[in-house]
Each structure stands twice: as C-alpha cells, then as structure tokens.
Amino acid sequence: MFLLRDVQRHDLPGLKKLAAVLNSVNLPDDERILDGLIDRSIRSFSSRIRDPMERTYLFVLEDLPAGRIVGTSMIIAQHGTREAPHVYFEVSSREQYSATLDKHFRHTILSIAYNYEGPTEIGGLVVDPAFRGQGKPGKQLSYARFLYLAMHRRRFRERILAELLPPLLPDGRSLLWEACGRKFTGLGYHEADRLSRQNKEFIKELFPQSDIDATLFSPRVQKVIGKVGPETVPVQKMLERIGFTYVEKVDPFDGGPYFEAEVRDISLVRAYRSVRLADVDLAIDFEERLVGIERPSGKNRFRAVRTPCRIDGDEAALPLAARELLGASPGDRLHVIPSD
C-alpha cells in the first residue's frame, strides 16, 4: 500500500533522486529549485501563505516497505497573475479559397494570448519508471489533487487547467520551440523554460503579437501541435473520463494541449463525501476508494490511501491497515472520492 501525503523537508533527498532519473520540466534536477518547491508547499498546506491564490501544494507518494518517494504531483492555486501572466497560444482555423486556381486551403493559426487572473492548474505528475503499473501510482497521485480540491473548494479557482506533454525529441527538445520559439528568442528549449519560471517578460516582448500561420512549419512540426505524447495518452483519457476537454489552447513552448474543466463538472469532485470513521475493522474485499484525512497542525497535514471502504450513512469503515496508515481513530473526519 502506498501512502499519499504532503511533502516534507526530509523528502528533499528522495525528490532529488527522482529528479535525477527523470529531470522533467515539472521536477528539475536542481536542488535549489526543489528546496524552494518544498518550502512553498509546506507554507501553503499550513496556510502561512495568506493569499490562497499564491499557494502551491506538492504531494508525494511513498512506498512504505522500500522507504522511498516514488512520485509527485501538485496543485498551483492560480496559474496566471499580473506579475506572471499565463501565456499560451490560441489555436484556430482559417479557410481560404481561390476561384481562379480552384484551390482551397485550411490553415492552423496560432495567436499569442495572456491571462492575468488564471485558472487553478494541476500539474507536476511524475512517477518513477520502476513503479509504473504497480498499484496505479500515477492515478493515485492524480486523484489526490482532486480529493484536495474537493476538500477546499474556496482555496481554488472554479476553472481547472491541465497541460499535457506533446511528443518530444529523444533529447527532450520541443519540435515547436525549435521551429518557432528559438527563432524569436535565440534560446534553447530547456533554457527558455527555466527562465520562464522566474520571468515571462521575454516571451511578451520577443514573441510576435500577430497571428502565426502554422502552415509555414514543416509537416512534422504541425502534427505535434495540440497532440499528446504516447506516455501521456493514459492521462488524457483519464482527464476526459472525469470531465475535462481540450480547449483549443496549447503551450507556446512545446505545443502541448490544454485541457480544462469547471470544478463543479469534475466527476470525482461531484462524488466527494465527508464522513466519520466507524469503529469497525473492514474486510479487504470491498470496493476501493481514495480516503484522506487532514490535521490542523503538525508537520504532516494531509494523508491519503487507496483502500477498501464501506460507507453507511455518514460513517465509513476501513481495514485496520488503512486506519493505521492514516493515523485515524474512530470518529475522525475522513474525506472520500472514487479511486477508479
């Protein structure tokens, strides 16, 4: 059984090992950045960051027998502010026809856009490749975010954004960035991404403000705009199943598609229940759910497990092992969503 919880300072070595294997955009192999992410998350969970829209929540999945962190995910309360706007390409079509030549063309048009009061973003989903497929760790990490969203609706925007990775080159570079972004900024993909985390001014000043006709790009580049990479297809299907849709917007760095949903329309949030723990030891052959508990103080504010769960009225029964992992006693408030 995996344990989902809020990240702690002692998790830095584990996150560093995970980042060294993957070195992804969301989990860079940079100890200074990782330490900053952990600090911001701890202050967010404890509400020491006073403005809820400035908070970032980092969840980790711990394999208890191995004593190691095997994955992470996060919630960014608001992606897009006046200081750091949410920048994206709007994707549209334009049709043109010449009667003289009897030629008809449909062009894909990219238009740079900015959002200064952006949506809540779910992101940072990273799983150790050695653990993929073992107990559905990716799904647990993803669902933990929706459980927390359901628990604290007022801390987040009503609109939720998920940015998905497109197909990338073997060395991790973006085809769209090589065809477009590099030409306007002179920066490599990874260098531009690192810089954009601190300051997006260069995008606004150097990218063309007029429409870009993607027909000018090679067919190989055009094919990746708004498409997801093979490893991201399961994430896309999961998001669509619970209520997200592609909104004809893409990341200006790599062309990855944006999927969005209203919180009230997300099936997991609609199915959320808040119940009390019953003083009953449940058998393990019951329907599984994602069950969480929250503490008002202490280092570990949030814990959740995927476990058999029986709900009767306003009470829930769990197996003893799940109760012990949660640190829950009869009468404690539990938070429950489906796990499949």
Query: Quick one: fold of 1-74+119-157?
Result: Aminopeptidase (3.40.630)
* pLDDT for position 99: 94
Q: Which of 47-51, 122-126, 149-153, 263-267 is predicted with the least confidence, judged by mean pLDDT?
A: 122-126
Does residue 57 surpass a pLDDT of 80? yes
Domain limits of the chain? 1-74+119-157, 80-117+158-270, 273-338
Q: Which of 27-36, 43-52, 154-163, 267-276 is predicted with the least confidence, judged by mean pLDDT?
A: 27-36
Instruction: Retrieve residue 67's tokens.
Output: 């004593």
Q: pTM for this structure?
A: 0.92
Domain 273-338 matching CATH 2.40.40.20: the answer reads yes
